[in-house]
């Protein structure tokens, strides 16, 4: 700006001479000359400064160019299964082909109230099984999260698991929050695609409708010992068979479990445990008999589980597992013939167990055998009105099943399986009797994407 002001002054001066006298003109000339030389020197100074700056920057650039390139950064540390920010996504596609001697629609477990619609051998012919979509990732340094959705052949989406889990709690403690398969027993936590047979053992089907899902919180502690010992406790809303939701605050039911495990030599390992679960049901539907309408009361289940694995070479493995489940329920059954709600006291203890073994006899082949047995117990119906007539004694029922399985696993992502069941769940006969059901199933399981590792 200071440059423009003298310029304006110069222009103004240029118009002056006409009216100025000679004296003025000469003094003005002198002044002008002084100003001119002053500005010339200033411009010179500026020019020299600019030049200096230019040289300096070129020198810097030259120096930079002359310097050796920066050493290459070390290779990025290898990341784990999932990319740092994209969650691991996996899909398991499953399906089956079923041949059944008797109509699967009237399949039920004799002496047990139906435990939801996920039990039984399924429909005949080709069936699209559950497509299992799992998305998992770390949330932050403190939590990981996982969603497992099952998309059924009937075009429904169910949330199998949706939970966050802590990773930063001290002293071997982890907590889970959300919906997850309860840690009770051994098979309860195992997802369907990782089962060794097409379906769950009868005991799990009868007692938990397949698997006991917890909507709540789990806290687990692993003892700091060389012998594996874990202890867990869960509370939830009870919204999974044999419980129901209740119209009240607080939680419904609790689960406790403990497992111990270890090795036998270099090639064998084992795990055993005990679990206890208590829950409450309110108007739990019981369609087993058109007379029964609902059960309200307490349900307590004990589970004992044991697994043994022996892998003498990388291509051979023997796995033997067994579980025993025992459930006691007491409360009130409401009989509703023709709309007359008739409450009756109910008390029963039911049990079930299975033992199964799977042997990998070649790198890609596994064969399995399973025996299932249940005891329905003798239900005790007590009329609440002491004057009413007693229902009399009931018979206990003993559903049984024998399953044989063969599967072929060309890779760890593909499994093709056949299973044949001698099924006597419906009637109290013997498994191999003429009335017994015979179910033959072919099953496929294909996994794509980044699927997390399986538990023991």
Decide if residue 174 touches another protein (CB under 8 A).
yes
The count of chain residues that interact with another protein, using the rule CB under 8 A, is: 54
Would you count residue 411 as binding another protein (CB under 8 A)? yes
Cβ distance to another protein smaller for residue 43 or 448: 448
**345 to 374: interface string for another protein, x by CB under 8 A:** ------------------xx----------
Nearer to another protein, 141 or 386 (CB): 141
From 144, 156, 270, 278, select the one nearest 212 (Cα to Cα): 278
Beta strand pairing call for 380-383 and 228-236: unpaired
Q: Which stretch binds another protein (CB under 8 A): 29-37, 97-105, 210-218, 220-228?
A: 220-228
Pairing state between β 213-222 and 342-362 = unpaired
Contact 326, 365 (CB under 8 A): no
For another protein, the closer CB: 223 or 256: 223
CB atoms under 10 Å from CB of 136, counted, come to 20
Three-class DSSP category at 363: coil
Residues in CB range of 175: below 8 A, 6 or more apart = 165, 166, 169, 217, 218, 219, 220
Interaction pattern, residues 70-89, with another protein; x per rule: CB under 8 A: -----x-xxxxx--------
| C-alpha radius of gyration, the chain, whole number | 40
Segment interacting with another protein, rule: CB under 8 A, options 21-29, 221-229, 333-341, 369-377: 221-229
**Nearer to another protein among residue 414 and residue 435 (C-beta):** 414
CB of 84 to another protein, least distance (A): 10
Residues 455 and 259: their CA atoms lie apart, in Å, by 14
Selected from 6, 104, 153, 261, the binder of another protein by CB under 8 A is 261
Regarding 181 and contact with another protein (CB under 8 A), the answer is: no
Rounded to the nearest angstrom, the gap between the alpha carbon of residue 30 and the centroid of all alpha carbons in its chain is 94
d(CA 245, CA 249): 10
| 19 vs 227, beta carbon nearer another protein | 227
68 binds another protein, rule: CB under 8 A:
no
209 neighbors 119 (Cβ within 8 angstroms) = yes
**Residue in this structure with the two tokens 């229902």, named with its chain if needed:** 391
Distance between CA 25 and CA 23 in Å, rounded? 5
Q: How far is the CB of 364 from another protein (least distance, A)?
A: 8
Choices 14-22, 34-42, 95-103, 168-176; region in contact with another protein by CB under 8 A: 168-176
Q: According to the binding rule CB under 8 A, does residue 17 interact with another protein?
A: no
Contacts of 65 by beta carbon, 8 Å cutoff, 6+ apart: none
Query: What does the binding site for another protein look like in residue numbers (CB under 8 A)?
Result: 75, 77-81, 138, 141, 144, 165, 167-174, 220-230, 259-263, 266, 269-271, 309, 311, 313-315, 363-364, 411-413, 448, 452-456
């Amino acid at each position: 700006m200071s440059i423009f002001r003298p310029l304006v002054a110069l222009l103004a001066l240029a118009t002056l001479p006409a009216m100025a006298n000679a004296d003025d003109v000469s003094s003005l000339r002198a002044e002008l000359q002084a100003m001119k030389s002053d500005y010339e020197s200033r411009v010179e100074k500026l020019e020299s400064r600019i030049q200096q700056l230019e040289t300096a920057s070129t020198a810097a650039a030259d120096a930079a160019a002359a310097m050796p390139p920066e050493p290459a950064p070390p290779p990025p540390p290898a990341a784990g299964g999932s990319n740092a920010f994209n969650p691991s996504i996996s899909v398991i596609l499953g399906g089956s082909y079923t041949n059944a001697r008797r109509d699967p629609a009237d399949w039920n477990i004799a002496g047990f109230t139906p435990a939801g619609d996920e039990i039984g051998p399924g429909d005949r012919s080709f069936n699209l099984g559950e497509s299992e979509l799992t998305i998992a990732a770390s949330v932050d340094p403190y939590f990981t999260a996982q969603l497992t959705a099952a998309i059924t052949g009937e075009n429904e989406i169910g949330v199998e698991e949706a939970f966050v889990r802590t990773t930063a709690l001290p002293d071997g403690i982890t907590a889970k929050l959300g919906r997850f398969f309860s840690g009770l027993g051994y098979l309860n936590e195992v997802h369907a695609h990782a089962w060794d047979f097409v379906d769950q053992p009868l005991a799990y089907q009868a007692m938990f409708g397949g698997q006991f899902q917890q909507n709540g919180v789990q806290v687990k502690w692993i003892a700091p010992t060389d012998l594996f010992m874990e202890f867990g406790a869960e509370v939830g809303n009870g919204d999974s068979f044999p419980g129901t939701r209740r119209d009240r605050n607080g939680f419904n039911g609790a689960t406790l479990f403990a497992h111990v495990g270890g090795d036998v030599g270099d090639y064998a390992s084992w795990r055993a445990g005990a679990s206890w679960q208590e829950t409450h049901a309110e108007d739990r539907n019981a369609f087993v008999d058109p007379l029964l309408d609902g059960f309200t009361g307490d349900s307590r289940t004990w589970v004992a589980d044991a697994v043994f694995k022996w892998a003498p070479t990388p291509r051979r493995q023997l796995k033997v597992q067994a579980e025993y489940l025992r459930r006691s329920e007491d409360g009130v059954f409401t009989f509703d013939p023709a709309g007359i709600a008739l409450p009756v006291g109910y008390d029963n203890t039911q049990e079930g167990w299975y033992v199964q073994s799977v042997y990998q006899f070649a790198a890609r082949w596994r064969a399995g055998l399973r025996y299932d047995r249940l005891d329905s117990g003798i239900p005790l119906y007590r009329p609440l009105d002491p004057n009413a007539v007693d229902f009399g004694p009931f018979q206990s029922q003993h559903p049984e099943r024998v399953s044989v399985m063969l599967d072929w696993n060309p890779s760890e992502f593909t499994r093709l399986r056949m299973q044949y069941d001698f099924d006597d769940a419906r009637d109290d006969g013997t498994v191999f009797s003429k009335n017994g059901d015979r179910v033959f199933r072919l099953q496929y399981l294909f996994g794509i994407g980044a699927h997390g590792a399986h538990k023991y």
